[in-house]
Each structure stands twice: as structure tokens, then as C-alpha cells.
Homo-oligomer: A and B are copies of this chain.
Amino acid sequence: MENPTPASWESLPSWLLTQTAGHAHRLVFDGFASVGARGYHYRLLATLAEFGPASQAALGRRSGIHVSDMVATINELADEGLVERAPDPADRRRNVISMTTAGKRQLRRLEKELAETQERLLEPLSTEERQRLTELLSTLLDHHNRRTGAPEEPWR
């Protein structure tokens, strides 16, 4: 007799969205944790794989990871031997970050884990429903990214 009626806000789109995202976050987090990593680790490794070695600032811009968090993220990955930090001979302010072989291996593990997580997340939805959801969310995300300055717009 403690929780008979659902709370009034539980049907609001903003609630559905943030709560579902909470579940998604937990699933992703647990998946990464099972391979000894967390979100920022994956994003950094994936960015390195996609764009190649780069300075910390550039990696921050491309991955959406804040520069000040980038420091710790790289420290952690470097301690595990997954990335390497080397001074840039062409610009002594910069470090050049690159992925090691172990880093590439770890990235593959994380991608596999992440793919399985998508499956767990969308489990109750049919293929068409998944497609539809993805489209709707993309529309929403694009809209708000444009309104709120996209994750990345270095020039202006």
C-alpha cells in the first residue's frame, strides 16, 4: 500500500527520456566496466581510431570530452599502456597522443561490448520500432544541438 498510483510526472516525455537514458547509461557503463573501462575511455580510443594521432586539445574537440577531463582520461589510458603521450616536436605546447596495439585491441573489445549493449537496450522493440525510435531521437538531437551550439563548432 505504498505506491498504488504512478506519480503524476511519469508520463511526461522529459521524464521518459531521462529515465530511459538512465537505464541506457547504466547498461553501457556496466558493459564498459566489464572490460575495465568507462565512457571517456571508449570515446577517446574511438576518436583516435577514427582520426589518428592528435593533440589533446584536438581530441577534446572531436570527442566532446572537456580538455580538463582529457588529462585524466589520457593518464588512465596511458597507465594501462593503451595510448601513448609524446611531446610534439613541431610545437612544444602540444602532446601527440597515439593508440598502442593494446589500445586497438581494447577498442575492439569495447565496440563488441557496446554492440551487445544496444541489443540489450532495445530488446523489447521490433526492428521497425528501433528504426523509428532512432529517427525520432536523431531529429530531436539535431534540433537541440543546433539550438544550443553543436557539440563541435570550433569556427564560430
Report which A residues bind B (CB closer than 8 A): 2-3, 5, 7-9, 11-14, 16-28, 42-43, 46-47, 49-51, 58, 61-64, 114, 117-118, 121-125, 129-130, 132-134, 136-141, 143-145, 148, 152-155
Contact = CB atoms under 8 A, between A and B. Distances in A.
Interface SS majority for chain A: helix
Nearest to A139: B124
Contacts of A21: 17-18, 20-22
User: How many chain copies?
Assistant: 2
A132 B124 contact: no
Given A117-B14, A133-B136, A141 B23 contact: yes
Contact of A132 (B114, B118, B132, B134): B132
B9 A46 contact: yes
Given A20-B137, A124-B139, A152-B2, A13 B118 contact: yes
B138 A123 contact: no
A8 to B, nearest CB: 5
A81 to B, nearest CB: 23
B133 A125 contact: no
A43 B8 CA distance: 9
Given A18-B24, A20-B21, A23-B148, A43 B140 contact: no
Contacts of A129: 136, 139
Between A28, A61, A153, the greatest number of chain B beta carbons within 10 A of the residue's beta carbon is seen for A28
